[in-house]
Amino acid sequence: MREAEIRRLLAANLLCALSVVLATVVPAFFLDGFSVLGTHLTWLCVCSVCVATFNIILHLVLKPNQSPKRRSFAHKISRFLKCCIYFFMSCILFHAIIVLYGAPLIELVTETFLFAVLLSTFTTLRCLCLLGPNIQAWIRVFSKNGAMSIWESSLQITSMCSILGAWFGAFPIPLDWDRPWQVWPISCSLGATFGYMAGLIIAPLWIHWNRKQLTYKSR
């Protein structure tokens, strides 16, 4: 496994983590009263857009999983439309799962859906960028020993860390602490964000430390 490829992955992941920082800091210079807690819905929108933009640009520049076949323009348009549909379906699916786990069904629908969009941005969007709208490839990557590259291993780690972060973020909500960050879905979205950023940093380090044991075989 080449060290240059791991450094490339680390640089890309650090830029993705930087997008979260920029989404938190930069809008405060342009929007009065902007803050993660005070204007959380606005932050959810800005963070989702910023992270999505960085991921798409990095994918187009680095092309970590580029197919050797040349695709027609019509195929690219079809692929793009499928990706948009898959992303929207992912948002709906995450929204339904979050409601099943106890989120309000009717009240705070906007908050729940924007949280679902954030989770989809941290997980599904990265799958679409790397694997495209290919459900079989998604199943392969998230199965045991299914990754075929360090990029797919990183995708596994960041996706799981994001979901676990959101899950752990729900624990403080029912506690009677009366803190502003306990309002739905602030603690969950912050947990998902910290999990996502932690996964971005952990993934290349874990791959570097275990590079001698990792063997990627074409399937």
Phi first, then psi: what are they for 174, rounded to 5°? Answer: -75, -10
Residues 61 and 10: their CA atoms lie apart, in Å, by 15
Distance of CA 44 to the CA centre of its chain: 13
Query: What CA–CA distance (Å, rounded) separates 177 from 11?
Result: 39
Residue 18 pLDDT: 96
- Half-sphere exposure (CA, 13 Å, Cβ side) for 86? 20
Note the pLDDT of residue 1.
52
Residues in the chain, total: 219
Q: What is the pLDDT of residue 69?
A: 66
Residues (pLDDT < 70) of the chain are 1, 65-70, 215-219
CB distance 169 to 191 below 8 Å:
yes
User: Which pLDDT does position 219 carry in this prediction?
Assistant: 46
Q: Are 182 and 145 in contact (CB under 8 A)?
A: no
pTM for the complete prediction?
Answer: 0.92
CA distance 49 to 137: 25
What is the C-alpha separation between 12 and 151, in angstroms, rounded?
10
Amino acid at 36: V
Confidence at residue 66, expressed as pLDDT on a 0 to 100 scale: 63
Determine the Cα–Cα distance for residues 219 and 207; give it in Å rounded to an integer: 20
Cα 126 from Cα 155, distance rounded (Å): 7
